[in-house]
Amino acid sequence: MGCEEIRDLLALYAGGESYENERAAVEAHVAVCAACARELDQYREVRANLASLREGSAPPGTFKSIWPAVRMDRFPAKPAPNLAWMDSVLRYAAVVMVGLAIGIIVHVAQRRPASPETLKATTAAAPVTIPAPVQPATMPRMIVPVRRAPASSLELDGTYYLPRVESIPEDRSKDY
């Protein structure tokens, strides 16, 4: 095995999780390759440091003191969109709506019933013409089916003739 394959196995070997044949290959390679031996020593050192970290328990409140910084790092606050112009637009729209509502209320409150003279003038102003009703269309009394030409014998037995849509060059060789 080369250095690349052995480097993939070094972490497993340092943790004691490699197979017997892989373990023998790593030991044989580390005996002759100084770079891989240094990397194996680094894996063993890291493993020992991690093992020493697991021995004690964290003091109370550690999570509460660390979590806000982790949250700010992983989930940064997004700046709020600048919608200051929208406030003034909404204010003016509200003023216009209130003005329209007041105008409609005043108009409805001041409305008076129509006087008899106004009613006579509007009803006698123009004669109304009512158009004659439209007659429905009439259908022929009898619907006659259209006869088709009989099918050929080739179509009746299920075999259809389809012409070939391909042209073969004169030299009888296809060019595809």
Which residues, at least 6 apart from 11, have a Cβ–Cβ distance to it below 8 Å? Answer: 43
Which residues, at least 6 apart from 10, have a Cβ–Cβ distance to it below 8 Å? Answer: 26, 36, 39, 40, 43
- Which of 38-47, 54-63, 68-77, 143-152 is modeled with the greatest confidence? 38-47
pLDDT band at 76; cut points 50, 70, 90 = confident
Q: Distance (Å, rounded) from C-alpha 124 to C-alpha 132?
A: 22
162 or 62, higher pLDDT = 62
Mean pLDDT of the chain: 79
pLDDT at 65: 86
116 or 164, higher pLDDT = 116
CA proximity to 9, closest of 50, 32, 47, 24: 24
Three-state secondary-structure class, residue 59: coil
CA–CA–CA angle 150, 153, 156 (5° rounding): 85
User: What pLDDT, in 10s, does the model give residues 91-135?
Assistant: 999 999 999 999 999 998 888 777 777 767 666 556 677 777 777
- Domain assignments of the chain as residue spans, ordered by start: 3-57
